């Protein structure tokens, strides 16, 4: 029988400590801007004015993610792979949600067993 899941609230997700940690992770990843062209640095500078409005929109259910920026990157074997880049604000929110949800979910799974079997390694002659 499975145990009930802990409820994660929006207020837990938007805690300043969690948002700061999510922003630091975003900054370390140094990703590209989304369709809105807002960079991670721009977001950091805009947070004092942008974040309160974002929180309000999240709380009242009117927040809408920005359109994705389509990008094609070359494959090593030829051709291209299509990607869709979310805005940095949307990625910040995604990181915060992940940080809030991961601990209670990981606690539900047993620790991964250590690999103890010896696997033969192929050595070229």
In this structure, the number of other CB atoms found within 10 A of the CB of residue 28 comes to 9
- For 34-76, the pLDDT digits (tens) are 999 999 999 999 999 999 999 999 999 999 999 999 999 999 9
Residue 105 confidence (pLDDT) above 90 = no
According to the 3-state scheme, what is the secondary structure of the chain? Answer: CCCCCCCCCHHHHCCHHHHHHHHHHHHHHCCCCCCCCCCHHHHHHHHHHHHHHHHHHHHHCCCCCCCCEEEEEECCCCCEEEEEECCHHHHHHHHHHHHHHHHHHHCCCCCCCCCCCCCCCCCCC
Instruction: Calculate mean pLDDT across residues 100-109.
Output: 78
Q: What does the pLDDT read at residue 111? A: 72
pTM of the complete model beyond 0.85: no
Taking residues 75-101, what's their average pLDDT?
Answer: 94
């Amino acid at each position: 029988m499975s145990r009930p899941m802990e409820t994660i609230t929006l207020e837990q997700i938007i805690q300043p400590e969690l948002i700061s940690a999510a922003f630091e992770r975003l900054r370390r990843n140094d990703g590209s801007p989304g369709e809105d062209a807002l960079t991670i640095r721009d977001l950091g500078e805009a947070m004092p004015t942008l974040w309160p409005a974002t929180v309000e929109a999240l709380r009242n259910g009117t927040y809408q993610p920005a359109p994705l920026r389509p990008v094609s990157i070359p494959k090593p074997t030829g051709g291209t792979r299509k990607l869709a880049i979310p805005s940095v604000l949307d990625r910040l929110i995604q990181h915060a949600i992940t940080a809030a949800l991961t601990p209670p979910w990981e606690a539900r799974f047993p620790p991964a067993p250590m690999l103890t079997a010896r696997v033969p390694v192929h050595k070229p002659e």
